[in-house]
């Protein structure tokens, strides 16, 4: 028989596991390749403060809501919503918030695993010394041969399958014996390795310049766009709207201080992003324009080229990308969990079979993104590749929709007594702020994010020469912006993702 705090599909065995699992889930690639750039362009330390403000006032209430709904119901988001709908006597259509969240988690994981495959390949490339003496042009050639070469896509598929097998194998061991053990070892190891890399950056890199670039207070750089960037990043990088927080909340044992843990995760996520940014920007080649150092190009072109000049570069490059692999791996474990949990609760299937089937589905869907960088790179639907549309649908539609539905349901459809029961013990001031943020502020803010995200993505399609109706007349002299061409020039192929294609994608 399950103990009082166990769910039918598993539970953590220690109260602190929620913190480690949630930290591993929230610290993703966007914090490595996007946050440092945003801080450098939007006021440095002032942007960090603006970002923290958005986290506390907008993101934190939604994170607390998702986690406490899971803790109170002891189910994933689909069955949790089903139970609350019955208690509140609402329309059954509200349950679709949970189903859409599961779909969003599956889609985000499908292309997250593709980037994990590239990082995994780079671990072996670094260990074998393939980057020794390589400049950015050489690194671009290696990246192109791995990602964009239509003749070599099967090698890329093999790395993709290898990465997903690492995720599936651990998940098959169970919630406590697999995921809990993994995150309690791997997440602290990531933190330790980041601190070591930061020490190396301070010794061998331009740490002071990176610190000034990222953290110095520059009020003149703070604009309306800075607030939008902070709001976007605060919303998209913490795994909201995909059922992860609900299931992790359901797994928490008695004694877990959930709201304090959520706040600790938010602060730790920000701290790690700052440390990682300082380490990476300290090691990029001297003389490079820092304005171009972000996204895919920063991680897979500039960084390995920069590390080749340091002593022990062969070991160092392999270590750096091993950290990247662990970051994506822990995120992938978290994203797979709501999909597997939903399948178990829906069918009653054993965990091993549920993980195997859902992992296979993730692999199959991920092939659409993988092939859109090579053999399908010339195929466009309404101006975008398969990866572009998967990224747009999840980031611009599904995740914002789930978040808005949860906020409206908690703020308007459930009774105030039920919502405060779910929230649990909290100061009256916190309860009041949380309640009105969920009712008024969050639905409007998230709707704005979703609309803006979609608009930015569709404009990016126009910048790649699309002739769709929303693009308007094409400019024959400059059909593509310099930013769009940046990756293509370096990679020698139109099949690779560029800075506009990879926005946040919630990892």
- Closest residue by Cα to residue 27 from 281, 238, 229: 238
Residue in the structure block whose two tokens are 């998230």: 446
* Structural element, H or E, at residue 423: helix 416-423
DSSP SS3 for 6: coil
Beta partners for 217? 44
pTM of the predicted structure, to 2 decimals = 0.89
Burial of 136: CB neighbours in 10 Å, binned 0-12, 13-18, 19+? middle
Q: How far is CA 139 from its chain centroid?
A: 25
User: In CATH, what number does 17-491 get?
Assistant: 1.20.1740
Identify whether the C-beta of residue 280 lies closer than 8 Å to the C-beta of residue 298. yes
Q: Tell me phi and psi for residue 238, to 5 degrees.
A: -115, 15
Distances (CA, A) of 304 to 11, 136, 310: 40, 8, 11
User: Which residue has 């808005």 as its token pair?
Assistant: 404
- SS3 label, residue 215: helix
Query: What 3-state DSSP class applies to 288?
Result: coil
Sign of the CA dihedral with 160 first, then 166, 172, and 178 last: negative
Q: Break the chain into its structural domains and give their ranges.
A: 17-491
CA–CA separation, 137 and 364 (whole Å) = 32
pLDDT tens-place values along the chain, 507 residues long = 334 334 566 789 899 999 999 999 988 888 887 888 888 888 888 999 999 999 988 889 999 999 999 999 999 999 999 999 998 888 899 999 999 999 999 999 999 999 999 999 999 998 888 888 777 788 888 888 888 888 888 999 999 999 999 999 999 999 999 999 999 999 999 999 988 888 887 776 677 877 887 888 889 889 888 999 999 998 988 889 999 999 999 999 888 888 899 999 999 989 988 888 888 778 765 444 444 456 677 778 778 887 887 777 788 889 889 999 999 999 999 999 999 999 999 988 999 999 999 999 999 999 999 999 988 877 877 778 889 889 889 999 999 999 999 999 998 988 888 888 888 888 888 888 888 989 999 999 999 999 988 888 877 777 665 566 666 665 444 343 333 333 333 333 333 454 444 444 444
């Amino acid at each position: 028989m399950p103990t009082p705090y166990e769910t039918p599909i598993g539970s953590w065995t220690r109260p602190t596991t929620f913190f480690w699992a949630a930290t591993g889930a929230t610290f993703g690639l966007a914090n490595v390749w996007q946050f440092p750039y945003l801080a450098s362009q939007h006021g440095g330390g002032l942007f960090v403060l603006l970002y923290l403000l958005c986290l506390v006032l907008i993101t934190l209430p939604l994170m607390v809501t998702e986690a406490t709904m899971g803790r109170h119901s002891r189910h994933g988001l689909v069955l949790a919503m089903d139970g609350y709908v019955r208690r509140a006597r609402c329309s059954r259509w509200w349950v679709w918030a949970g189903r859409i969240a599961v779909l969003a988690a599956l889609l985000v994981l499908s292309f997250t695993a593709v980037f994990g495959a590239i990082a995994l390949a780079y671990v072996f490339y670094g260990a074998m010394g393939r980057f020794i003496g390589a400049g950015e042009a050489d690194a671009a050639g290696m990246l192109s041969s791995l990602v964009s070469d239509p003749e070599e896509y099967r090698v890329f598929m093999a790395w993709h399958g290898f990465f997903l097998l690492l995720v599936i194998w651990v998940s098959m061991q169970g919630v406590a014996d697999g995921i809990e053990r993994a995150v309690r070892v791997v997440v602290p190891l990531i933190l330790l390795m980041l601190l070591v890399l930061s020490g190396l950056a301070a010794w061998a890199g331009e740490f002071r310049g990176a610190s000034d670039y990222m953290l110095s207070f520059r009020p003149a750089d703070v604009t309306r766009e800075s607030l939008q960037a902070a709001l976007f990043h605060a919303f998209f990088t913490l795994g909201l709207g995909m059922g992860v927080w609900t299931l992790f909340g359901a797994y928490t044992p008695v004694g877990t201080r959930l709201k304090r843990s959520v706040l600790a995760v938010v602060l730790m996520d920000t701290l790690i992003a700052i440390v990682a940014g300082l380490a990476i920007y300290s090691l990029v080649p001297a003389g490079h324009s820092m304005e171009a150092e972000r996204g895919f190009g920063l991680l897979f072109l500039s960084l390995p080229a920069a590390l080749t000049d340091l002593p022990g570069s062969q070991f160092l490059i392999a270590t750096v990308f091993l950290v990247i692999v662990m970051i994506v791996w822990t995120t992938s474990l978290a994203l797979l969990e709501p999909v597997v949990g939903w399948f178990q609760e829906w069918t009653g299937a054993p965990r091993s079979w549920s993980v195997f089937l859902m992992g296979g589905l993730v692999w199959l869907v991920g092939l659409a993104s993988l092939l859109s960088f090579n053999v399908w790179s010339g195929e466009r639907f309404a101006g975008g590749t398969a990866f572009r549309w998967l990224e747009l649908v999840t980031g611009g539609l599904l995740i914002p929709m789930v978040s808005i539905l949860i906020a409206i349901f908690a703020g308007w459809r459930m009774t105030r007594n039920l919502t405060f029961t779910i929230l649990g013990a909290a100061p009256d001031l916190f309860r009041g702020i949380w309640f009105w943020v969920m009712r008024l502020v969050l639905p409007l803010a998230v709707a704005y994010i979703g609309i803006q995200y979609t608009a930015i993505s569709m404009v990016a399609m126009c910048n790649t020469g699309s002739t769709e109706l929303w693009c308007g007349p094409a400019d024959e002299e400059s059909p593509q912006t310099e930013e769009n061409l940046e990756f293509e020039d370096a990679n020698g192929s139109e099949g690779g993702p560029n800075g506009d294609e990879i926005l946040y994608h919630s990892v």
